[in-house]
Structures are given as structure tokens and as C-alpha cells.
Amino acid sequence: MKKPSFETPSLPEYVDTPELQPGATAEVKPYVAAEKHQTPLGFPGELPDDWQDRALTRFEELLERNRGLRVYMDACVRCGACTDKCHYFLGTGDPSNMPVARQNLMRDVYRRYFTPAGRTFPKLVGARDLTRDVLDEWFTYFHQCSQCRRCSVFCPYGIDTAEISMAAREILDAAGYGQKYSNEIIGKVHTIGNNLGLPGPALEDTLEDLEEDLEDETGQPVKLPLDQEGADVLLVTPSADFFAEPHIDGLMGYAKVFHQAGLSWTLSTHASEAANFAMFIGSYENMRKVALRIREAAVKLGVKRIVVGECGHAWRVAYSFWNTLAGIGHGAEPDDEYARILQDQLDPNYPVPQHIVELTNDLVDRGVVKLDPDANADMRLTFHDSCNVARASRMGSAPGGQFQLPRRLLRASLPRDNFHDMAAETIGDRTFCCGGGGGLLTDELMEIRVKGAMPRMQALREAMDQHGTTHMAAICAICKTQFSKVLPYYDMPPDMIVSLHQVVGNAIRMDASDV
């Protein structure tokens, strides 16, 4: 590993409020999007002369569209409950990474232009003009927020910093000041269908190679179907599953589940991406455009179910937004013909959408898929609750299913004493972020990613010391990519991070007597 230009935090016995280091990460910022990344998404290619008017106009539009945003701007009493809840503040000590400080970057501008007191007596109420320096500060610190929502769990008023961060990035884009990483990826999905820019023929070749690997491993013709019209299930999974470990191992695990259950399923070249980075920049227009690709593929292929693979924010978008964005399941405008076609087409006996964890858990519960825990005897496992699954969605029919179902599958796939959770205050709805979500999974932000991962690394190290933990499973593509990069900074092996369906896939009994 190349020697970093920054110091990796030491792992303390327990995570405490750090010593303040003002401006510690003021120079850590992403690359600015070029015109070729901006204009396809409907944004100015660069900062125009009237950027301030554009930004304030968009701000006003967001306040009208999202009543919650105005409440978040007005409700904060600076009680401090959120102060030490952000992993980036805990890892850097930069007070601008306190959630309330990040919110105030926007709140101070809101007071100046959208409140009577701020328009009349700006200095008296702490209002600030939207200058270029302020805009630069927004660009820096709103791209040091992974939109994990952990601070919101502890806020007595429920102020959602993630929504504020999304709004700020949308305003930045409207002013011509976007982030290269996220906007370039969104453009690839619009034109090709996935974040990687992987064209259909390359995807087909990849799946054929994986089928050969599966047959070599299992002795059975486990298929990864592509564009199969009339299939019952459309699997929409993050494109990372086609590209690198441990993601590919999870994809192979899905295939084993479908094969052993005898389910008819398919992937789609048109919708070869579950991720929706448009959520990170707060753009509902671009979120809808990405979601419509999935609807189009489902209608064309005639599927009866839509299942989402292991991707945290993709599940949040599917669970919380697909219905209103594209009428997948319910919602859409009354005159949206294609939404009605899909709603009539989908099988009402299954949830829309359905997570791959829900599908697999049901099959295991009914004995359709049988597991051999001893196949994973070499693993002593823990589980990382990914933020968007933990704090922005559910699974199953009961509250807390997003926490219970993954653990049920892991326990069923492991010997009895081989699963242990990390410390209670670091999991569930209080889980610490991996440090790479929200559009931050880019090399120029490696310092904030490594330092932001410190609280999770501390909890993992504790589990290793107390329980002999050897692996950590996750159901989020970003988390898995982030951990594989940051684990070595903390002297842990990168292959500690595994896909949940990699563990399940190892345990599936593929012998002919159980088919």
C-alpha cells in the first residue's frame, strides 16, 4: 500500500469526543465536475456570472417542494446532542464536521435570504451572504458528509442532516459547481445502464465466465441469465457485483440461491445497475431517470417480481422512492400508462420491491434452500449494518427486520458460536458508517474516508480481540468497497470484508439429493 500523505488515527479503547482541530480537513475536497459531467444532467457546465441568483432560486424551490427542509432550517436549538455522533468529526476533530456546524453552513444563508430578521438585521441573527467563499465552504464540507443519518437518530427534533446535505449539493449543481465523481457516474447510467460504464457485450462475457467458475465449483450448471424475456424475477444489483471481490462472490451466491430454489430469473443489460447516485446529489429528476430504466426493463422482460441485490442506498431508493419516482409497485401519476402496466404485471403475493435477503430468508425458512453451517467453519463473523438499510428502510413484515433478517441468514450459515455482533452502541440504528458512502468513494477523499472509518474500525478491532472475529459481512456495495480499501490502514487484511451472500453461498447444499 502506498504510504499515505496523512496520519491514520490510532484505535482507542473506546471512541470519545476528540480534541478540536479547526480546519483539519478544510483542504480535503472532491474534484469539481467538468462541463461534460454537468450538462447531461441538466446543470450548468461551470459557474456562470449569475451563479448566486441560480443558487438562491434553487434554494427557494427546494424550500417550497420540501417542507421538511424549512423545518430543519428553523428547528435547531443547538442543544449539542448531535455533536459527537458524526464519524467524520470523531475521526478528524474538525468542528466543521459536527452535524450542527454542517447544517449551519446552509442555515446561515437561509436566514439571510429567507427570513425577515436575516433580511433586515443579518449580523444580529448570524446570517451570511452567499459569497464565493461560502460556496467553496459548502463544496468542501457537504462533501464530507456520507448522508448516513446517524446524527438524526440522536437529534431530539429529528433534523435530518442527510436531507440538508442532499439539498446543498443540488444547489451547488444548479450553480454549476458539481462533484465529478457522482455526476460522472450518473451520466454513465443514463447512457449505458450502469455505474461502471460496462456495455452489454462485456457484461455478457463476464457472466459467461462466472457460469464456468460456478460449474467448476459446484459441478452443476448454475446460470446467470441475461435479458431472459418471460423470467419470473428481475434481479437488479449493483454493477460492482460484476467487477471485483467480494462483490462477485455475492453475485455467485445469489445465483446459487436461484438455482437451488428452481426460480426463473434474469439480469438486464438495460437496467444493470441498482445504485442511484442521483440521491447523493438530491436530484429527483435524475433519480427518476435512473429508476425509469428499471421500470422499462421490467415491462419489456415481462417479469412478475423485482428483487434488489446487496446495495445499501439502492435499497433505500427502491424502498422509499421507486413508487413515487416511477410507479414501481404503487404511486405514479394517474395518466402514467407504463406504471399501470407494470403494476398489473407484478405478482401481488410478493413485496415490491423485495430485497435479496428477504427472498433468501423466505426460501431458507421454508426449507427450499438448505444450508450446511460447517461449510463456513473457518469463519468467525460479525455483521456491519449499512446506514441506508439501517436508518432509511425496512425488511420483512415486522419492525427491525432490516437488522434481524441478515443476522438470521448468517447464523444459519455458520457454526453456532461463530457469529458475534460488535458492541451494541455501534450496530442497529446506531451503526457507524463505513466512511465511504454518500458519493465519497473516490481517491481524492481518501483521507476523510480513512479517518471517518475509525469508529467502525475500533468496534471491529474490539470484536476481533474479544471473539476472535476473522470476517465482517455487509450487504452494501459501497461498504464492501470502502472496507477493502481502508482495512489495511488499520493493519487489518482487506479480505476480512465479505458479502452476506458469499457466506450463504458457501453454505448452500448443492448435492443432487437436495435439488
DSSP for 137-180 reads HHHHHTTS-----HHHHH-TT---HHHHHHHHHHHHHHTT--BH
Neighbours of 435 (CB within 10 A): 30
Give residue 3's pLDDT.
66
Cell numbers found for residue 119: 433580511
Three-state secondary-structure class, residue 213: helix
**Residue entry with cell 434474469:** 266
Q: Which three cell numbers stand for residue 320?
A: 422509499
Closest residue by Cα to residue 171 from 279, 57, 69, 285: 57
The residue type at 215: E
In angstroms, the CA 154 to CA 93 distance is 19
pLDDT per residue over 13-26, tens digit each?
999 999 999 999 99
Q: How many CB atoms lie within 10 A of CB 379?
A: 20
In contact, 175 and 44? CB cutoff 8 Å:
yes
Q: Are 12 and 81 in contact (CB under 8 A)?
A: no
Task: Give the three-state DSSP class for 498.
Answer: strand
Q: Which carries the bigger pLDDT value, residue 363 or residue 341?
A: 363
* Residue of 367 and 336 predicted with greater confidence: 367
User: How sure is the predictor about 511, in pLDDT bands with cuts at 50, 70 and 90?
Assistant: confident
Contact predicate 89/95, CB 8 Å: yes
Alpha-carbon gap, residue 407 to 159, rounded angstroms = 30
- The amino acid sitting at 483 is F
Distance (Å, whole) CA 247 – CA 501: 9
pLDDT in tens, 288-325: 999 999 999 999 999 999 999 999 999 999 999 999 89
Instruction: Please write the tens of the pLDDT for every residue from 232-260.
Output: 999 999 999 998 999 999 999 999 999 99
Residue with cell 435570504: 113
In this prediction, residues 209-223 reach a mean pLDDT of: 96
The arithmetic mean of pLDDT across residues 261-270, rounded, is 98
Radius of gyration of the chain (CA): 23
Question: β-strands 354-355, 305-308: how paired?
Answer: parallel
Angle at 457 between CA 504 and CA 505, to 5 degrees: 5
Q: How many residues does the chain have?
A: 515
List pLDDT tens digits, range 151-196: 999 999 999 999 999 999 999 999 999 999 999 999 999 999 999 9
CA 318 to centroid of chain Cα atoms: 11
pLDDT score at 335: 83
Asked if residues 479 and 434 have their Cβ atoms less than 8 Å apart, the reply is yes
Which of 383, 437, 382, 395 is closest to 149 using CA atoms? 437
- What pLDDT is stored for residue 515 in this prediction? 39
DSSP string computed for 59-97? HHHHHHH-HHHHHHHHH-----TTTT--HHHHHH--GGG
Question: Which pLDDT score, from 0 to 100, does residue 329 have?
Answer: 80
Virtual torsion, Cα 84, 4, 445, 497, nearest 10 deg: -80
- List the single range of 94-103, 273-282, 504-513 with lowest mean pLDDT: 504-513
Q: Is pLDDT above 70 for 513?
A: no
pLDDT for residue 333 = 79
Predicted confidence at residue 340, as pLDDT, reads: 87
Check residue 211 and give its pLDDT: 98
Comparing CA positions, the residue from 98, 104, 87 lying closest to residue 148 is 87
pLDDT band at 96 (very low <50, low <70, confident <90, very high): very high
| Beta strands 265-266; 305-308: pairing state | unpaired
For residue 419, give the DSSP letter: B
Task: Give the per-residue pLDDT at 514.
Answer: 45
- Amino acid letter at 117? A
- Spatial distance between the Cα atoms of 278 and 404, rounded to a whole number of angstroms: 29
Kindly give, in sequence order, each residue whose CB lies less than 8 Å from that of residue 167, ignoring residues fewer than 6 positions away.
59, 62, 66, 69, 106, 282
State the Cα torsion 187-193-195-196 to the nearest 10°. -110
Distances (CA, A) of 348 to 66, 231, 254, 306, 345: 31, 16, 23, 12, 9
The structure's pTM equals 0.95
Mean pLDDT of 31-60: 97
Interval 100-123 mean pLDDT: 96
% of the chain at pLDDT higher than 90: 94
Is residue 83 a contact partner of residue 17, using CB atoms and an 8 Å limit? yes
Place 461 in a pLDDT band, splitting at 50, 70 and 90: very high
Return the percentage of the chain with pLDDT > 70, whole number: 99
How high is the pLDDT of residue 230? 97
Per-residue pLDDT at 1: 56
- Of residues 514 and 294, more confidently modeled: 294
Average pLDDT, the chain: 95
The string of pLDDT tens digits covering residues 380-407 is 999 999 999 999 999 999 999 999 999 9
pLDDT of residue 200 exceeding 50, the answer is: yes
- At 332 the pLDDT is 77
Query: In this model, does residue 272 exceed pLDDT 50?
Result: yes
Q: Which helix (H) or strand (E) holds 233?
A: strand 233-236
C-alpha cell read off for 324: 413515487
Kindly give, in sequence order, each residue whose CB lies less than 8 Å from that of residue 205, ignoring residues fewer than 6 positions away.
Answer: none
pLDDT for position 160: 96
| Cα distance between residue 471 and residue 493, in whole Å | 9
Closest CA to 390 of 377, 401, 376, 379: 401
Do 310 and 356 form a contact (C-beta atoms < 8 A)? yes
